[in-house]
């Protein structure tokens, strides 16, 4: 009765937050911190994404706060799974200890609205959630710098590659770097497997490499894969 009475005294338009982290102590700590703010409501705290669809239907959160780098989680792919389950209706905020250039760009490209580093003051978490809920974005300066550096690196690498390869060769090289077989690449580009072999030999010669592995490593090094 007391709990229900207290709930009725709280604002009805609170921001509903769903927490996802495999560590119970982290979930507990975040819940305690966020529930001190009357404008926030923790609708659930999950150890995995297994129940997320059911929780979405029942609890209808506004924001999902997730650490994709926790043990047992699959990094950026974990965020993709959550995003697929959400269907673009709920905003995602990533809360993590570390994030590299490539991950930052991938997260921004996927539509993640906030990236919070765990080294930041705890008081910033509610501020971030409120800003994201209001339609804004929250990226700390380091994440923004890394994202811009990655974008510039990719643009520079693309200019370097395009100076040596034709547009068709670039398209094929990108597919091969992703692990496509000659057959799949030929089907994707609507050319014959024989043409794929001819183009690959040209690519190897122009880039001074001799194998698919070297091509994949080159694209990864340049931030193109």
pTM recorded for the entire structure:
0.59
Structure tokens at 72: 């047992």
Residue 153 vs residues 78, 137, 225: alpha-carbon distances, Å: 25, 23, 12
**pLDDT for res 65:** 93
DSSP letter for each residue of 117-175: ETTS-TTHHHHHHHHHHTT--EE-HHHHHHHHHHHHHHHHHHHHHHTTS-HHHHHHHHH
Residue 215 has pLDDT above 60, yes or no: yes
Give the start-to-end residue ranges of the domains of the chain: 2-146, 164-221
pLDDT in tens, 87-145: 767 898 998 887 776 777 778 778 888 888 887 888 889 999 999 999 888 876 665 55
DSSP element (H, E) containing 45: strand 40-46
191: left (phi over 0), alpha (psi -120 to 50) or beta: beta
- What is the percent of the chain with per-residue pLDDT over 70, rounded to a whole number? 80
Q: Which CATH number fits domain 164-221: 1.10.10.10, 3.30.70.20, 3.40.50.2300, 3.40.50.920?
A: 1.10.10.10
**pLDDT for res 142:** 61
pLDDT in tens, 146-181: 555 565 566 666 677 878 888 899 889 889 888 899
On the question of a common fold for 2-146 and 164-221, the answer reads no
Determine the Cα–Cα distance for residues 220 and 135; give it in Å rounded to an integer. Answer: 34
**pLDDT for res 2:** 36
**pLDDT for res 16:** 93
**Residue-averaged pLDDT of the chain:** 81
Compute the average pLDDT of residues 32-59: 87
The domain made up of 2-146 has a fold known as Rossmann fold (3.40.50)
pLDDT grade, residue 47 (50/70/90)? confident
- What is the percent of the chain with per-residue pLDDT over 90, rounded to a whole number? 28
């Amino acid at each position: 009765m007391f709990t229900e009475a207290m709930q009725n005294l709280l604002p009805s338009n609170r921001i509903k937050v769903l927490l996802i982290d495999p560590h119970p102590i982290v979930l507990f700590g975040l819940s305690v911190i966020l529930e001190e703010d009357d404008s926030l409501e923790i609708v659930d705290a999950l150890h995995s994404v297994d129940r997320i669809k059911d929780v979405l239907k029942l609890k209808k959160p506004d924001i999902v706060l997730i650490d994709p780098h926790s043990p047992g989680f699959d990094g950026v792919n974990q965020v993709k799974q959550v995003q697929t389950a959400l269907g673009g209706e709920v905003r995602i905020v990533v809360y993590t200890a570390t994030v590299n250039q490539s991950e930052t760009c991938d997260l921004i490209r996927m539509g993640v609205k906030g990236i919070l580093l765990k080294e930041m003051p705890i008081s910033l978490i509610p501020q971030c959630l409120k800003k994201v809920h209001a339609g804004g974005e929250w990226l700390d300066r380091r994440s923004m710098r890394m994202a811009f550096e990655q974008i510039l690196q990719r643009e520079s690498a693309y200019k370097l590659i395009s100076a040596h390869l034709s547009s068709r060769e670039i398209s094929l090289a990108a597919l091969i770097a992703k692990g496509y077989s000659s057959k799949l690449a030929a089907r994707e580009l609507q050319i014959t497997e024989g043409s794929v072999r001819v183009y690959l030999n040209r690519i190897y010669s122009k880039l001074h490499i001799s194998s698919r592995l070297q091509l994949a490593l080159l694209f990864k090094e340049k931030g193109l894969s």
